[in-house]
């Protein structure tokens, strides 16, 4: 028998990162499939991999190249394929490059005035291959976030003409897409203070060829609506993922029915019609470019991924409008692409890490064959080691119901001490407009296999439960999220499933803010861990990058008009409320949450005498990508809890103890 937290486990931090790869960004053309792999053991570099019928998968980028854009800071849409040419933005200089065939990368954009000052993403290429239409985020010399300009730019593939601005004016643009006949261009646009999940506009313009590239004609807004009123009222329409079908209709995702569902606009008839309506989310918040939750199959069929009750599903809309489920053993889906009868996606389940999967379907939507193109890691572990999530709902403040995924402690070799209940680790996702991911994550199993219970909370404001649920956080960040994470912990304690005296909370980014805030303002939790979390909301509002520089208008209130709320809800101004141990982990190159925020809260707690640990990481931005740093972050947090709660680590000799001041 062993105390919870002291269980011996093969799921170490070394296993968490060994040969790990974050998969995404698929592309399929006939029998050729390309996908992206973020590799922690290669310093977090994103490699592109191609697989054909002619042999094994091959890496496409040379040593040192890194297909990652810094546009919007969160990136996405950093590469695309046109014919036999691969386009990608390189992380080091943010210039756009092409690789044709097996040739070397060739720069397609000029050196900017400011190093990394022109950031490229989310492009498309004309049918003749002569021109590329790409989103450019331009950072001028000496400029701040307010001076950054986001535009759609025309690039001359032959390199004879300088980049030319095609769409400018809105604060943000994305998804430039050319119709199959080449006569129309669509794109998305939105402006402050809206975020793309608040309100966007889907625009369509007539397009004609010119000596200097594509030229605009008449343009119109065919769907979407900005949010209205100071700080937003929830009356907007969020549109995403516009895509032209072969018949010339324009499909897109919209939340006009409360849920993100599928619609299409028919040119000439100038009407929008619902194509898939369901009480489930198709797609998600547009934090990054290049998301893909649906794709066109042959014969008028469309495949799409949706999320309901915290779990993911794959389905097909047949040409007659009927919806059929695709029978595959996955609960998480991303990067949906299709060609003919073939669907390619990144899929994962509660017991399998992400894989690149190819599924061939027949005319009725039934699965004819399945092929794993890029398998998950061979972890060498039986499934009995993995805690599988239980979707739970529980009461919270104001008569609301909140949701979460609960993972009980699981270890086939451990027998807990009789009468002991496990400590609980409450996970708070980022965003805050994001969601818990229903898939095997060794970073979670690291805890459950040691004897921790884990609950991943989809508090009010999270994606996956409709727009009304998402809007519960309007003006209430630092209130509703705190209420719901407390409610989850207390409910599990009342159910007798966890130890009410050992409730811990951890989160990154926005989840780090919730962690800090609940420790400053509430007394439910015994300890917490903030990963690059926000301590000073006012500093975030005035110092963060352009994409999020007005985000807090909707979450808290317009700044500086409601400065009182920013001060009232900022943990840094209420250090007198901290009396529980805290560990803070921070990347020193973070442009989203600058390191000074972490250092302010740590210094204040040290001075106050509260037990606090601080671990800073050179070379890391917003989120940890390097294998050594991912390991150090996990092990430091475990060492922290072991010291706070007084349990013994069975692999203590392999874990560098973290220094906890004032303990």
DSSP 387: P
Q: Report the pLDDT averaged over residues 433-453.
A: 96
- Crossing angle (nearest 10°) for helices 480-494 and 510-521: 70
For residue 167 the two structure tokens come to: 């769409």
**Nearest residue to 187 (alpha-carbon basis) of 234, 150, 212:** 150
The residue-averaged pLDDT of 614-630 equals 93
pLDDT category, 122, cuts 50, 70, 90?
very high
In terms of DSSP H, where are the helices of 54-197?
Answer: none
The DSSP-derived string for 620-632 is -BSB--SHHHHHH
Alpha-carbon gap, residue 318 to 299, rounded angstroms: 9
Q: What is the pLDDT of residue 230?
A: 46
CB-based contact 187:200 (threshold 8 Å): no
Q: Using an 8 Å Cβ cutoff, are 291 and 283 in contact?
A: yes
Q: Look at residue 652 in the predicted model and tell me its pLDDT.
A: 84
Query: Average model confidence (pLDDT) for the chain?
Result: 95
| Interval 303-342: pLDDT, tens | 999 999 899 999 999 999 999 999 999 999 999 999 999 9
Average pLDDT over residues 625-631: 93
Q: pLDDT (tens digit, 9 = 90+) per residue, 187-236?
A: 999 999 999 999 999 999 999 988 899 998 889 999 999 986 545 566 89
The CATH architecture assigned to 381-654 reads 3-Layer(aba) Sandwich (3.40)
Predicted confidence (pLDDT) per residue in 333-372, tens digit: 999 999 999 999 999 999 999 999 999 999 999 999 999 9
pLDDT band at 617 (very low <50, low <70, confident <90, very high): very high
Closest CA to 516 of 532, 535, 503: 535
The answer to whether the CB of 110 falls within 8 A of the CB of 161 is no
Of 227, 232, 231, nearest to 565 (Cα)? 231
| Domain range summary for the chain, segments of one domain joined by + | 381-654
Among 223, 225, 227, 228, CA closest to 241 = 223
Half-sphere exposure of 391 (CA within 13 A, CB side): 15
Burial 621-654 (b: 16+ CB within 10 A, else e): bbbbbbbebbbbbbbbbbbbbbbbbebebeeeee
Across residues 253-269, what is the average pLDDT? 95
Q: How far apart are CA 341 and CA 362, in angstroms?
A: 7
Which carries the bigger pLDDT value, residue 445 or residue 596? Answer: 445
For residues 169-173, give the mean pLDDT: 97
Alpha carbon distance 3, 452 (integer Å)? 10
| pTM of this prediction exceeds 0.85 | yes
Between CA 566 and CA 231 the distance in angstroms is 14
* Predicted confidence band of residue 40 (pLDDT cuts 50, 70, 90): confident
Q: What is the DSSP letter of 2?
A: B
How is residue 519 written in tokens?
A: 């420790």
CA angle 421, 423, 424 (to 5 degrees): 120
Going by pLDDT thresholds of 50, 70 and 90, the confidence category of residue 1 is low
Predicted local distance difference test score (pLDDT) of residue 622: 86
Residues 105-116 pLDDT 10s: 999 999 999 999
Average of pLDDT values for 618-645? 94
What is residue 381's predicted lDDT score, i.e. its pLDDT? 96
Beta bridge partners of 374: 356
Residue 146 pLDDT > 70, yes or no? yes
Closest CA to 338 of 23, 24, 25, 30: 30
Say how far apart CA 294 and CA 178 lie, in whole Å: 18
CB within 8 Å of 364: residues ≥ 6 apart: 318, 324
Confidence class of residue 454 from pLDDT cuts 50, 70 and 90? Answer: very high
Distances from the Cα of 51 to the Cαs of 28, 30, 48, 415, in angstroms? 10, 11, 10, 45
């Amino acid at each position: 028998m062993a105390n919870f937290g002291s269980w011996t486990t093969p799921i170490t931090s070394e296993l968490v990162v060994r040969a790990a790869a974050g998969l995404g960004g698929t592309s399929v053309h006939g029998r050729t499939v390309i996908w992206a792999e973020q590799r922690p053991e290669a310093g977090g570099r994103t490699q592109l991999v191609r697989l054909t019928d002619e042999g094994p998968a091959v890496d496409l980028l040379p040593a040192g190249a890194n297909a990652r854009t810094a546009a919007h800071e969160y990136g996405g849409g950093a590469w695309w394929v046109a014919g036999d040419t691969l386009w990608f933005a390189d992380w080091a200089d943010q210039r756009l490059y092409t690789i044709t065939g097996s040739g070397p990368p060739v720069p397609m954009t000029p050196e900017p005035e400011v190093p990394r000052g022109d950031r490229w993403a989310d492009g498309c290429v004309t049918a003749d291959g002569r021109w590329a239409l790409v989103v450019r985020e331009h950072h001028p010399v000496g400029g701040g976030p307010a001076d950054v300009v986001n535009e759609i730019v025309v690039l001359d593939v032959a390199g004879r003409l300088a980049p030319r601005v095609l769409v400018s004016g809105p604060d943000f643009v994305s998804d430039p897409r050319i119709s199959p006949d080449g006569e129309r261009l669509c794109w998305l646009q939105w402006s402050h203070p809206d975020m793309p999940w608040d309100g966007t506009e889907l625009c369509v313009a007539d397009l004609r060829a010119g000596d200097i590239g594509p030229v605009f004609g008449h343009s119109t807004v065919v769907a979407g609506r900005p949010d209205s009123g100071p700080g937003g009222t929830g009356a907007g329409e969020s549109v995403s993922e516009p895509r032209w079908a072969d018949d010339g209709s324009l499909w897109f995702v919209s939340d006009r029915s409360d849920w993100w569902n599928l619609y299409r606009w028919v040119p000439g008839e100038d009407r929008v019609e619902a194509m898939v309506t369901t009480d489930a989310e198709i797609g998600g918040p547009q934090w990054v470019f290049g998301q893909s939750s649906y794709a066109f199959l042959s014969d008028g069929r469309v495949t799409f991924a949706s999320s309901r009750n915290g779990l993911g599903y794959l389905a097909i809309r047949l040409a007659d409008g009927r919806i059929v489920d695709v029978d595959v053993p996955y609960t998480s889906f991303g990067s949906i692409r299709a060609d003919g009868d073939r669907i390619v996606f990144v899929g994962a389940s509660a017991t399998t890490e992400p894989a690149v999967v190819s599924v061939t379907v027949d005319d009725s939507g039934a699965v004819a064959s399945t092929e794993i193109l890029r398998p998950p890691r061979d972890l060498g572990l039986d499934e009995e080691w993995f805690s599988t999530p239980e979707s739970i709902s529980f009461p919270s403040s104001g008569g609301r119901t909140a949701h979460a995924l609960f993972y009980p402690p699981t270890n086939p070799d451990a027998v807990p001490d009789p009468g002991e209940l496990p400590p609980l680790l409450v996970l708070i996702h980022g965003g805050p407009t994001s969601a818990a991911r229903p898939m095997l994550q060794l970073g979670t199993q690291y805890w459950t296999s040691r004897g921790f219970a884990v609950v991943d909370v989809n508090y009010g404001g999270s994606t996956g439960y409709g727009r009304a649920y998402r809007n519960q956080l309007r003006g209430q960040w630092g209130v509703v999220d705190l209420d719901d994470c407390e409610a989850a912990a207390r409910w599990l304690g009342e159910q007798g499933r966890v130890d009410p005296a050992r409730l811990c909370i951890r989160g990154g980014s926005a989840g780090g803010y919730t962690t800090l805030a609940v420790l400053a303002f509430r007394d439910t939790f015994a300890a917490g861990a903030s990963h690059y979390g926000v301590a000073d909301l006012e500093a975030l509002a005035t110092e963060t990058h352009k994409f999020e520089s007005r985000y807090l208008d909707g979450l808290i209130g317009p700044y500086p008009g409601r400065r009182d709320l920013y001060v009232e809800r900022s943990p840094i101004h209420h250090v007198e409320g901290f009396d529980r141990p805290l560990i803070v982990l921070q990347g020193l190159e973070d442009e989203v949450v600058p390191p000074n925020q972490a250092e302010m809260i740590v210094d204040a707690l040290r001075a106050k005498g509260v037990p606090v640990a601080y671990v800073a990481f050179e070379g890391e931005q917003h989120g940890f990508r390097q294998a050594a740093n991912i390991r150090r972050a996990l092990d430091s947090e475990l060492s922290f809890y072991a010291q706070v709660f007084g349990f013994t680590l069975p692999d203590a000799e392999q874990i560098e103890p973290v220094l906890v001041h004032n303990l």
